[in-house]
Structure 1
């Protein structure tokens, strides 16, 4: 009866919240802490007084969702982006474009996630290509940057195997084409791209290709798409889509380009046709879908169907559903889908390494369970030019941090930049992952069926034990606590919750307790929860 009354009370709250208001104020309960919003801001969670985020046209360059969750079991959801802030014990929500749902039926963070996901982003029961989980991934970006070419891609692939790393998914990154929007390998760098891909297949790799929604202006493809009105147009309140003529030119990290309008079914058909051409002609297996950030779609632009910038980003995500082998970096409101996410590029520094755990666990709270940490050691190529800028220990600890995440991705070649000792430590991290791969695969299948996160925050798995602010360790499923070293000095502090635990070194502990230790360069601390 008590549960029934509590459910009715929660429904009343939800119904009351569906009245669209200029501002909604939620009193934060004693000890209640809030998470959610944008993954790339989640190192700041649980949110402190003064924190504010407006998600309209801004997903912080990574995954995001119009969802907030609390350690007391409450969640806030809207179908559209909103602004929220923490102000003196109040959660203040405004700039709403659609009604809020405020649900108080849960008791903890795990309940809040379960209730929100079942209602608004239930898992679709499908997995991406399982090779993305079962073996390491390799991206050609750091080694080749904008000089993607057939000879060096094959050289990189051979070096992977020659140095004792297992083949997996290999991603060919940006600048493989003559210009953006042209879907053929550039002849000056690829003498026979189909033969290259066939050779990679024989070596045991599956091959993905970097793509984006951008089209280089003043090109043959651009002129054709403009004539067919498949591009986004420059905004003018006096014009409708039928009368729009001037394409929007978007500033992005590689310059200025036009962008495809995926509110137009004809644009989706054209783009999907080009991807199919690449698969048929060059025998590719899938695609890395870069860009698609909400802020690349100006709010005043004109599209076939009038939508907000966040919806443009979501539609970019829908394109990838056709391909089991996919990867995204920017995403809006696509939790529960069989889409692979990657954390935003991290710098080659210890501060950014320490963001990986809160970012990935928050991605799970937003429904993005199939998420990869950034490239091991960081995705900013400048840090790897010249050995003077390289921190070998950082590469090792980054590999260890990624080893028991849902996926791990290499880009910089460890055998090129590391000493023999540090290379051996990285290879040991890969071997540790192989040991736990059956468990990771079981969790991935469970996530596809139930939506429950593969990687979980300590508060999620062990609520109300004072671990909501713990950002240096995580749970792999319900069984293993993983505490990678995230500081250069090799010192680690592990907080074991209540229960009996056994370490990777065979020692047993009774929690709650705190373990302070100096961790060897080749060790990844793991603690198994026994009971």
Structure 2
């Protein structure tokens, strides 16, 4: 939120009390408490002005937190994000000569100048390089008269809206990324970002997945530990700063250090929760009924028969909203008019070898039989007069399930369990963004404004835990639209309602890469676009891109996404792309397991993999699929694509090669422009790598050990370990294969498993 007019003036009705001095401090074990105040010229300056209490802590090595509090007397009803805590790693020293306090946490340090009127904070790396900090006039308390609570008739007692303001320095050439799923330019410099979940599609500043965490090209990240609305001016108010403001009396942030961007993500996900794994079958192709299309058992069966006849591998079928009666979302019952024998039909689908998914949301329409039950038992969010909060925007008279009520969670879970008893394997947890904040109350007394974003965590957790209780740890999977920090523990997330255009395809990729720079390792988009009907060229290009995403789903709004309705050549493209993803299953499972351990996503912005190549920091139309494969989707009908090939650190590793033609090589550090038909796109294999695959697989969940192939490109820098992950339990490694280069670097030996070996370059 902007409060200023340029460097010198404030906006009308705004005043800011800037902190300029450390009045006193106290060091206790691994905590530093500071009392900050304004510029001090004489003792009279201690009167009629606010102070801000600052607390410095370190929940984990390499992470330093700063909590700033104006008034400490506020009632805190929560909710709060979970922060994983450790102790015993912080070191605090004070130089009494310079009056500088040093707070060190492993490779990260914070220096605070406590000399009179010389307040500043400087975060530094282990190499003593400045990362960020608070310089002149960067910690303040804002009073704003432009609010409903302000009334001049109240005189000196007139209430102003208060904001905590923390401004963190941005260096020359520094780039800022992340902040959840954002669809504009990947680098957030120059943007205003409000962390506030909304159902806004994929073509505006609104987003379904807002994460108050950003990652900097300088080797650090910042997590703002606040579940309510957080506003960031990323060089859009002060060109030398990221201005962070929250309404209320306190703000807390954590600076997360990393030698590389991957290290930052590792520490951030260790702080907020390691990403969960998903079952191998989820990497199959998903097909949906689409949203508002007319369908019944005959329609669905016809689609499935069409896939079988065309040899199109399909693993999951999803029933979207109208599996339930209109106006009754969500009663969690199959519409008996459309599906008179739902249980029998689901069994028939399961007999085809399909996994099944159904759409749900956390709302209950007034026409639903569950409405009276929920109203009677207090399972819904209430108004302050104890009536049920309702509106007509989406479902007529709908209520919102109150997941802060344990009884409501049990009730909702019981209906999910009933669906699982029928054969449902996954839930598409849609919505959870339209959560009221005014005139409402929760069962546990949570602050409604702080619950607006946080609600998505509760909703997804209930559905995810219900699945995991049935199938076991890391075997449950959602298809979720909204989330908040920590939501990486309840995968998978998809990109929401995009249009059927090349531009929307590109913005979807930016949104996915942005989310996956925010602690998430899995992501999908609606292949073909959600709104509208894609022309055949777009459909085929989105199929290529979507089958090189972690998860792949054909989904639309008012039109079906089965390929042959766009032309039989679309079926050919889909078949090739699905089979390519299946043969890459061992590689995908290995990369996902690494992501679970280290917080590194399956789809990666180039700079995440090549931080020393400065040319990668501006690229947002291509990505790494795991560590070894670079993908450049085609975003035009003509098939022309311009892409950058990164420089690898080991110059002796060799050249990148085309996935489709191993004789076609690419030099790192160069741009290329090519034109591709629909049978290819730029997929490049990184030099100095070993990629595991298996052409014998018919589905991702097939046994993993028989038929393994190892694609070695270029010279290996040393022994390389390839983990064969168990498709039946994706957190377990069946076997580790060691690939050792010969002394001349031109050949390798393989130990641990018989495998077909291809040595390129």
TM (norm. structure 1) is 0.88
Contact preservation (8 Å) 2:287, 2:316: yes
Q: 1:14 offset after TM fit, Å?
A: 9.5
Which has the larger strand fraction? Answer: 2
Q: Which residue is 2:41 aligned to?
A: none
1:92 aligns with 2:249: no
- Superposed counterparts of 1:470-485, under 5 Å: 470-485=619-634
Q: Deviations over 1:337-389 (max 9, x none)?
A: 1421111121001110112322222221222212212x210112xx23xxxxx
Deviation at 1:29, TM superposition (A): 0.7
Match 2:329 to one of 142, 162, 180: 180
The superposition leaves residues 126-173 of structure 1 with CA deviations (integer Å, 9 ceiling, x where unpaired) of 42222111x11111115xx35343222222222222222113011111
In structure 1, stretches of 5+ residues that fail to align are 385-389
| Whole-angstrom distance in 2 between the partners of 1:160 and 1:198 | 19
Distance 1:419 1:150, change over 3 A: closer
The answer to whether 1:448 aligns with 2:572 is no
**Structure 1 residues 8 and 184, CA gap change in structure 2 (3 angstroms):** closer
Is the contact made by 2:180 and 2:517 (CA closer than 8 Å) also made in structure 1?
A: no
Instruction: List alignment gaps of at least 5 residues for structure 2.
Output: 1-90, 92-103, 113-120, 124-132, 142-163, 200-205, 468-475, 649-654, 689-761
Do the aligned partners of residues 11 and 338 (structure 1) sit closer, same or farther apart at CA in structure 2, a change above 3 Å counting?
A: farther
Q: Within 2, Cα distance between the matches of 1:61 and 1:85?
A: 16
How far is the alpha carbon of 1:449 from its aligned partner?
A: 2.7
Q: Which residue of 2 aligns with 1:502?
A: 657
2:353 partner SS: coil
1:268-318 CA-to-partner distances (Å, cap 9, x unmatched) read 1110011112222x222221111111x333344211122321122221121
For 1:196 and 1:460, the matched residues in 2 are separated by 46
SS at match of 1:266: helix
Deviations 1:7-64 (A, max 9, x none): 35148769999x996111112111111112230x243231132x11221454844222
Cα shift at 1:246: 2.1
The CA distance in 2 between the partners of 1:221 and 1:414, in whole Å, is 34
Query: Across the two proteins, how many residue pairs are aligned to each other?
Result: 504
Alignment of 1:7 with 2:107, yes or no, is: yes
Match of 1:149 in 2: 296
Measured at CA, do residues 146 and 261 of structure 1 come closer, stay the same or move farther in structure 2, by a change above 3 Å? farther
Residue matched to 2:278: 128
Encode CA deviations 1:394-430: one digit per residue, 9 max, x unaligned. 0000001111110111133443322233332232222
Secondary structure of the 2:233 match is strand
Aligned to 1:38: 180
The match for 2:389 among 228, 237, 248 is 248
- The range that moved more, 364-373 or 58-67, is 58-67
Give the corresponding residue for 2:356: 207
- Distance in 2 (alpha carbons) for counterparts of 1:251 and 1:48: 38
Residues 299, 65 of structure 1: CA spacing in aligned structure 2 closer, same or farther, 3 A cutoff? farther
Contact 1:54–1:83 (CA under 8 A) maintained in structure 2: yes
Task: Give me the whole-angstrom Cα distance separating, in 2, the residues matched to 1:102 and 1:502.
Answer: 41
Shift of residue 105, structure 1, vs aligned partner: 2.9
Root-mean-square deviation (CA, aligned residues, Å) is 2.6
Q: Does 1:529 align with 2:686?
A: yes
Counterpart contact for 2:296–2:338, Cα < 8 Å: yes
Of 395, 405, 416, the match for 2:539 = 395
DSSP 3-state at the match of 2:322: coil
Task: Indicate how the Cα distance of structure 1 residues 56 and 325 shifts in structure 2: closer, same or farther if over 3 A, else same.
Answer: closer
1:273 equivalent in structure 2: 414
Q: Retained in 2: the 8 A contact 1:137–1:170?
A: yes
Query: Residue 197 of structure 1: CA displacement?
Result: 0.9
**Cα offset for 1:187?**
1.4
Identify the residue that residue 387 of structure 1 maps to in structure 2.
none
Cα deviation 1:80-116 (Å, max 9, x = unaligned): 1411012322211001665332426334433332232
Counterpart check, 1:171 vs 2:318: yes
Instruction: State whether residues 338 and 448 of structure 1, in contact with CA within 8 Å, keep that contact through their aligned partners in structure 2.
Output: no
Highest CA radius of gyration, 1 or 2? 2
Equivalents in 2 of 1:284, 1:514: separation in Å?
47
Structure showing the higher helix proportion among its residues: 1
Is the alpha carbon distance of 1:251 and 1:78 closer, same or farther for their aligned partners in structure 2, counting shifts above 3 Å? farther
Could you say which residue in structure 2 is the equivalent of 1:377?
528
CA distance in 2, matches of 1:83, 1:211: 30
Instruction: Tell me: CA distance 1:481–1:226, structure 2 relative to 1, closer, same or farther (3 Å).
Output: same
Assess, with a 3 A threshold, how the Cα gap between structure 1 residues 171 and 496 changes in structure 2: closer, same or farther.
Answer: same
Contact kept? 1:73, 1:110, Cα under 8 Å: no
Q: Is 1:48 aligned to residue 189 of structure 2?
A: yes
1:320 aligns with 2:463: yes
Which one has more relative contact order, counting CA pairs under 8 Å at least 6 apart? Answer: 1
In structure 1, how many angstroms separate the alpha carbons of the residues matched to 2:140 and 2:418?
46
- Aligned match of 2:550: 406
Cα displacement string for residues 492-520 of structure 1 (whole angstroms, at most 9, x for unaligned residues): 11101114211122212221111111111
* Deviation beyond 3 Å, 4+ runs, structure 1: 10-17, 56-61, 96-99, 250-256, 411-416
**Per the alignment, do residues 160 and 5 of structure 1 end up closer, same or farther by CA in structure 2, a change over 3 Å counting?**
closer
Change (3 A) 1:344 1:447: same
